[in-house]
Structure formats: C-alpha cells, structure tokens
Structure 1
Amino acid sequence: MLPTDGLPEPKLLMLFEVLYRTGSVTRAAEQLGQSQPTISLWLGKLRQQLRDPLFVRTPGGMKPTPQAEALITPCREVLESLRRLVAWEVAFEPATAQRLFRLCLSDASHITLLPRILAHLREVAPGVRLEVARIDGNTEQALEIGEADLAIGFIPWLGGSLYQQLLFPQDWVCLVSARHSRLGERLTATAYAEEGHVLVSAGTGQKLLEAGLVKAGVQRRIVLELPGFLGVGAVVGSSDLIVTLPRHIGTTLAATYGLKVHECPVPIEGFAVRQHWHARYHQEAGNRWLRGVLLELFGHSR
C-alpha cells in the first residue's frame, strides 16, 4: 500500500510508473519532458518518501525492488483515479434533463427572446422549466450565488467577476401606425421633432436615447409615458404617435401590430445585447448547454 500520510506528488507517482515500465532514466526523462538531472532529483525524493531504493541499476536497466513490485499496482490505481478526476464532467442530456433554469431578462426580452427560448426548450428539453426574474441591482449577486443562471440584455454595470458573450447588436427604429397620414416614406428629423411621442421609460438603453436626443438638440413632445412595453403596439397602432425603440423590440411589435418601421432620423448610440454568467458556473454542463442554445438562437441576429 502507498503511505496515506504524505502521499507522493502526482509527478513523482508518474515517474514511478514510467520508470517501472521503461527501466530507463533516459526514457523516463523523454516521456515526462524533463531533464535527466530533474528525474534524478525526483527519484531521490520518491525514495526518501517511500523509504526504499525502489529501482536498482543493473546491466539490463533499472530493476524494481520487491517494495516497488508491491507498490506498482496501487500507484497505477491512484494515477488512473487522478486521470478520471481531471476528465470528469457531469453530462447534461437535454432530452432527459429535469432541471429549473433561472433567467434574468429585461421587459423587452419577454417579448422578443422568451417565446423563442421557450419554444426551443419545449422541443429539445421537455423536462426543463424556466423561471424569469427582472434585471435589477440584485442581478450580479443572484448570478454569483446560483439564484440565476444567466442574465441577458444590455447590462453595462455588471462587475468583472462575470463572463459575457455578445448575442446581437442593437440600433434604434421608430414605429408609427400604418395609417399615419402626415409622414411620407422617410421619417425626417424635422417631422420627428414635430410629431407627438410615446415615451417608454423601461429599458437600460433609454439613457442612450435621451443622451442622443440632447446631443442632437431634439426635444420630443411627449404625449404618453408608459412604464413598460405592454400596450405600446396597440397605442401606436390606434393613434398618430411615434415611439422610438431598440430595433429588436421595435420590429417584433411592428410585425405583431402591423406598424410601419422607420429608421431613427436622429443619431443615437447603439448597444449590444449580451448573455452574462458567473465564473463559478463557467464549466457547469447545464449552464454551458443553455449558453450554447442562446448563442444558436440569437447570436448576431440569427
């Protein structure tokens, strides 16, 4: 048996196995990628720890002592256990998995991302459940302690302990009713400033919108302010108001409510939608699988 107190380092056990197998210090050095003086130093430490010469030089090479003969089998068992430990990974099989994933999403993502995510998971992972939470000041802590698996959106304040991956870029569009009578095929900056607007206060990109309008010297005439995206499509479709939104939520609402999409005539800084996760779960199999799903569904505006 190998000694349980002060078990030799893995590199010394590897040396023991290679030297037993090859009977040559030179070949052991070649296989382990070390110099012969280093191998001799390691062998000296191994002999001291195991309290036996272990190998004796003979005309036919380094021959094992009876103690080495007794130790080779447990040594190989330890090395095999270490190899299995390094290669070990809990597999995630979506077709049979029974698991709850928690996502932190913006209000807009409830409309643009969540339906596609849910439809895909129901097809490929029917036993997986989803729980959705808001993005707020607790999001980073939720990712760290495992209360959330991923946060998806434009979340520039999240800290350096998190990984992130680009899903798609966003610019800005304007939505109007298809029956709007005063606008032509192209929305001009003058018409934009003259028309009434719906202001949606939700969304982390709103600060970029406000900053771009201030920089351009454009002041909107706000007729209606909403706290979220619920009702935006119906309001714009039944009025002569304009709403300025990130492209993904804008085109989604336009398709749902039959609205007309104009390029925003005011230069507004764009942003990127990313998925974020904590370093603790970077190699966790289920988290990796879910990140791959999101990249497949939405990566670079697929």
Structure 2
Amino acid sequence: MPDIDLLDGRQLQLLELLYSTGSVTRTAEALGQTQPTVSIWLARLRSQLGDPLFVRTPQGMLPTPRVEAMIATVRNVLEGLRALAQAQSVFDPATMPRRFRIFMTDASHITLLPRLFSQVRALAPGVSLEAVPIHAGMGAELESGAADLALGFIPTLDAGFYQQALYDQDWICLAHPDHPRIRPGASFGLDDYSREAHAGIVYGTGAQLLDATIHRLGIERRLALRLPGFLGLPAILSTTDLIATLPRQIGETLAAIGGLRVLDCPVPIPGFQVRQHWHARFHQDPGNRWLRGVCANLFLRPVGGGPQSDASMHRPAQPPAGA
C-alpha cells in the first residue's frame, strides 16, 4: 500500500515544480538542489506512492494519470503551507487594540508605571495596561497568557521563564529634612541607625532581603510603624522623625515627592537587579516582544559592566515543563 502518510512539504513542492516545468533540471534549480539530488528524491517519491509519477518523453517529463488526479490537491496543500509560513502574527501598535497585564510592585507603580504608560499611550493609542499585584500564582498566569510580563525583583520566577536585567538597585535611607538628631552634612552610621525609630515595608522580596540582612548581622532596627506598601511614606516621614530604608530608585523618587533627605544606608544590604520576566511560550509573540522592547528602551541600563543583547540575555533557567 502506498505510504502517503509520510509526504512532506518538500516532496509536494517537487511534485508541483516537476509538473509545471516538465524538467528535472529546472526543478533542481528552483529547489536550490543538484539534479542528482532531485532524481533521488523523485525515486523515493515513486516508491512511496507506488507510481512512476513522471515519464520521460521528447516533450519533457510528463505526468502520469495519478499525478494529474492529485495535482490540484497538492497545490492546495502547498498554498496552505505557504499561508501558514507567512502567517506569523504581527502586532502593529499604532493600529491594533490590546490589553497587557503586567505584574509589578506598588513601588513600580510609582517609579516605572508612569513612564511606561506615557510611552505606550504615545506609541499605541489602542493599547491599555493593567497593573497586577505580584503574588504566588503569577507564574501560572504568565504561562497561560492571562498575564504578559512581570517587572521587579522576583527570584521565584525561574524555570520556564525568560528574563532580562534592566538595572541594579542598592539601598538608601530617608528622613525628614529637619530631623532633630540628624544634622545636614553629618554622617549617619550604624549607631544612629539603631538608635532611631523606623517605618518599614513588611511585604515583598525587597523587604525580605532587608529583614534577612538585619537579622543575619544582628543589627537592631526598631520598627515603630509597619506598612504594606510605599504610597504613604512621604507623608509619614515628612511629619515624623522616623527613618525608612528603601531601594534607591523608589527611595529617591519618594524623596523628591516629599522633600525628604536622602542618607547613605549604613547597613551593607545586598543589592539586587530589577528584571522583566516572561514565559517561554510567548517569547516570539509579537505583542509581547513589542512590550518588552518598550520596557527595555525606557529602563535598561548596563548591568554588570557590559552591554546586553537580546540573544544572550534572554534565557530561561531550564526548559518549561513539557518542552
């Protein structure tokens, strides 16, 4: 019985070209192959289909009735294959509507989101953004396509995810500009840090890193006020003598908003990288690629002393499940 289940696009293209040209030589040229190679392919195809397919005559290679009967189907299949090959979805931000969901912290709402939204609004009037709180189940949402991107310090997004480092973060402290015990120009050391009362953010990976360092070093930090997020800090610090320890970008942003004093942090808290993360399933999705490009253009700064390339930096730690 002819083994037609194993026909591939190359064999169908061979049938269509040989039918159209009546010449093995011209068919080989069109396929970018040598004439002997095309002859070998034709011999295999004859064996698979159990038919001579083409017969050499003074008028060229003429098709058998079997080829005449199937050529219309062959051409339809090839047309479908070509359409599939050319049907890579496109995303035109200037004209296409789309909603992107982005996981981010409330700090990113203040530091990243305004610039990101302004740029997206200018480039893509039909695009809307939804900022989604970071949570334990966000990996599944990124994998399913329910969300598109995650921005921040998110070490839990590892296997199956691509990531791109955008910038480094270190730590600073904030205080009232006229703090009664911290004079302008005076140093702010560990003794001062331990003596003062603090306002602290108690949620998020940055807070966990800070707390772990404080505990590991045995440093005293008297938390007089615990907060779930950054939004109220400028008003609190500008009306009290509390100290806050924050990553530099959000800290300097809040200092500018509230007219606060920026102090060098005397605690050697490890720095970290803010990254954008996306699932491997959507690495080639044009809309996702466009959004990542906007984020990189806005926020990417050289990390680790050298430039980054799309090819070298975007690597999942290991293949996603089932890959």
TM-score by length of 2: 0.79
Q: Separation in 1 of the partners of 2:246 and 2:240?
A: 17
| Aligned partners of 1:18 and 1:28 also within 8 Å | no
| Aligned partners of 1:143 and 1:149 also within 8 Å | yes
Q: Separation in 2 of the partners of 1:238 and 1:33?
A: 79
TM-superposed CA distance for 1:94, in Å, is 1.5
Q: Aligned runs of 1:125-274 on 2, under 5 Å?
A: 125-183=124-182, 184-185=184-185, 186-274=187-275
The count of aligned residue pairs is 297
2:23 aligns with 23
Q: Separation in 2 of the partners of 1:169 and 1:130?
A: 25
| Aligned partners of 1:22 and 1:28 also within 8 Å | no
Which string of whole-angstrom CA distances, capped at 9 and with x for unpartnered residues, describes residues 133-155 of structure 1?
A: 21111111111222211121111
Whichever residue aligns with residue 259 of structure 1, its letter is L
Q: Separation in 1 of the partners of 2:210 and 2:35?
A: 63
Extract unaligned runs of 5+ from structure 2: 304-323
Whichever residue aligns with residue 10 of structure 1, its letter is G
Extract unaligned runs of 5+ from structure 1: none
| Aligned partners of 1:107 and 1:203 also within 8 Å | no
CA RMSD in angstroms, aligned pairs only? 3.1
| Aligned partners of 1:172 and 1:247 also within 8 Å | yes
Whichever residue aligns with residue 219 of structure 1, its letter is E
Q: Separation in 2 of the partners of 1:52 and 1:298?
A: 63
TM-superposed CA distance for 1:271, in Å, is 1.3
Does structure 1 residue 65 correspond to structure 2 residue 63? yes
| Aligned partners of 2:105 and 2:134 also within 8 Å | yes
TM-score by length of 1: 0.84
Q: Separation in 1 of the partners of 2:203 and 2:99?
A: 27
Whichever residue aligns with residue 230 of structure 2, its letter is F
Identity over aligned residues, as a percent?
49
1:83 aligns with 82
| Aligned partners of 2:55 and 2:64 also within 8 Å | no
Q: Separation in 1 of the partners of 2:239 and 2:197?
A: 13
Whichever residue aligns with residue 300 of structure 1, its letter is R
- Partner SS, residue 13 of structure 1: helix
Q: Separation in 2 of the partners of 1:22 and 1:211?
A: 77
Runs of 4+ residues over 6 Å off in structure 1: 69-73
Q: Separation in 2 of the partners of 1:124 and 1:24?
A: 52
TM-superposed CA distance for 1:121, in Å, is 2.0
